[in-house]
Structure 1
């Protein structure tokens, strides 16, 4: 997990808060659930104990993953974005050359990607194809159905 995770200050703070909650609220609750289940008898045939241990393992994995993301996070300041080319946090309007359909996406880090809000990850195939392109350039994106071509129509914040 050595790649850089680009995030806004707001997302960084949300992740820090989530990690704090996982460590201070959820972790003690998981330990308490294990202790309660342990008191109910033989651990070999105690499904409640097994479930509590499994939940604790998943919680610890989530904490570790979130710590990794925070450790490699790079906060992007929207006021320093260069809109002469497609970059993280820019909004780019593109036209699919084949279908003539036009859509606007915001290029974001993986943690913030949400296609329903037209936010695509910079590490997605379309995101990778668009990064660095200027208005008027054609981005070629490898998709399972073949190569898709998009014309960059506009770049904004």
Structure 2
């Protein structure tokens, strides 16, 4: 079974590498100390501190495995690959919400680094899928949880 390709910008790659490094170099040690302290309390069969620390350890190890797999399957989108003629991953798109006549700006990224609070939307999201491959001046429709939304593409830029 082939593993899914993870599309990242250089910034997204750095964030994942930093998270992995932090988990391996800081969090693992912290949890090991918590487990050691909990064991020193004696009987671990009914020791909630021990149980909590073991659960956190399992979560950290699972996240480390996930991050390593993502980085192994990463394809980095370099700035020179970003096309400003059509919407592509890595491009920043300036849109006009047709209904409310408001401008919004999104950067199209791979799902691993999407963050709506930073206006980074996934290429797999309804809006991301609707925008990909489209040109300036095109009006796109996307079915989002709030209903159908229309955006006019005002500009496609590199950031």
SS in 1 for 2:133: coil
Shift of 1:32: 2.8
SS in 2 for 1:102: strand
Distance in 2 (alpha carbons) for counterparts of 1:13 and 1:145: 33
Shift of 1:154: 1.3
Shift of 1:48: 1.5
Shift of 1:66: 1.5
SS in 2 for 1:127: helix
Unpaired runs of 5+ in structure 1? none
Other-structure match for 2:134 = 133
Deviates more, 1:96-105 or 1:80-89: 96-105
Name the count of aligned residue pairs.
157
SS in 2 for 1:15: helix
Relative to the length of structure 1, the TM-score reads: 0.86
Q: Cα gap change, 1:127/1:33 in structure 2, threshold over 3 Å: closer, same or farther?
A: same
Other-structure match for 1:40 = 41
Distance in 1 (alpha carbons) for counterparts of 2:40 and 2:138: 67
Distance in 2 (alpha carbons) for counterparts of 1:11 and 1:108: 9
Distance in 2 (alpha carbons) for counterparts of 1:104 and 1:51: 42
Other-structure match for 1:60 = 61
Shift of 1:112: 3.2
Q: Within 5 Å, give how 1:6-85 maps onto structure 2.
A: 6-85=7-86
The superposition leaves residues 39-79 of structure 1 with CA deviations (integer Å, 9 ceiling, x where unpaired) of: 22111121211111111111112212212221222111012
Aligned: 1:4 with 2:33: no
Unpaired runs of 5+ in structure 2? none
